[in-house]
Amino acid sequence: MPANLETTITGLKLNNPTILASGVLGVTKASLKNVINNGAGAVTTKSISLEPRSGHKAPIIITYEAGMLNAVGYSNQGAVKAAEEFANSAEVGAPVIGSVIGQSVDDFIKVISKIKNCGFSAIEVPLSCPHTPGYGTLGGQHTPEMAKKITDAIKKISKLPLWIKVSPNENMIAVAKAAEAGGADAIVAGNSMGPGMIIDIKTAKPILGFGMGGVSGPALRPIAVRCVYDLYKAIKIPIIGCGGITYGRDLIEMMMAGATAVAVGTAVYYRGVSVFKKITEEAEQFLTENNYKDITQIIGLAHG
């Protein structure tokens, strides 16, 4: 009898714990549906801002021996067009999480009110992007004060589960605790780390269009696992583990650290969009071989 992979997070029942991380694919509803058809248990939209944004100049993504650097710069259609694009999101076949960004508390409220009828199952708010001026870490949002303020304000106007995405860099536990106190329903741990930089030595120029970018992929994985491990002890709300998950063993490891579900992004590069199906099958095989009946049995198992 194969192990049961279903997991429930903030009231959302997922067929399996893999969620498409925000920023990878997810620009259109069709793209989200394609990711679900390739095995994701849930999907997150590309982050939605109040006004349209074309993002940073390219290269926006480069990879190196240990992972990926990205500085996409939150390119998106803006809240009005996004509301049209993602209308009737409930019909794509799995929960869709709307990722919302803003430069001020007011921005978050305005965006959420514009997309409220899209049928999103939850709202994710990244306070932690390391490479876009005015937003996340560079916008001064990754502090306990801002986390509390933004969470409070969103919870007052939206009944949807609210997920706050934190940075693995610093302040992580304090920001997560403040979000929890503000009423956040889950913590996503976490964003890319850094930023980092790679310089082309023949032209003596940083390669990324923005110069620097968030570091993700295998290099981030042990850091993300430790973040989830620490958070599991510090907060009571559930955790979505995110950072470098590429294989089924990585998913198992992240859940043993304390994650209830996991987000997958960079691995789409390494293993294609069917990576969700691959990770899920590998995890299922491990669980079955090791006599776990239910994937939820392993949540926090590393804490003894």
Q: Interface residues with other proteins (CB under 8 A)?
A: 24-28, 30-35, 46, 52-55, 57-67, 70, 72, 75-78, 81, 85, 198, 200, 202-203, 205-207, 209, 217-218, 266, 268-270, 272-273
What are the structure tokens assigned to 13, written together? Answer: 């029942």
Residue closest to 296 by CA, chosen among 259, 271, 268: 259
Local structure of 300: helix, strand or coil: coil
Q: Based on the number of CB atoms within 10 Å of its own CB, is 156 exposed (0-12), middle (13-18) or buried (19 or more)?
A: exposed
Strand pairing of 122-126 and 162-166?
parallel
Alpha carbons 16 and 260: distance in angstroms, whole number:
10
Residue closest to 246 by CA, chosen among 73, 34, 97, 66: 66
Q: Based on the number of CB atoms within 10 Å of its own CB, is 129 exposed (0-12), middle (13-18) or buried (19 or more)?
A: buried
Active site residue 242: no
Catalytically annotated residues: 129
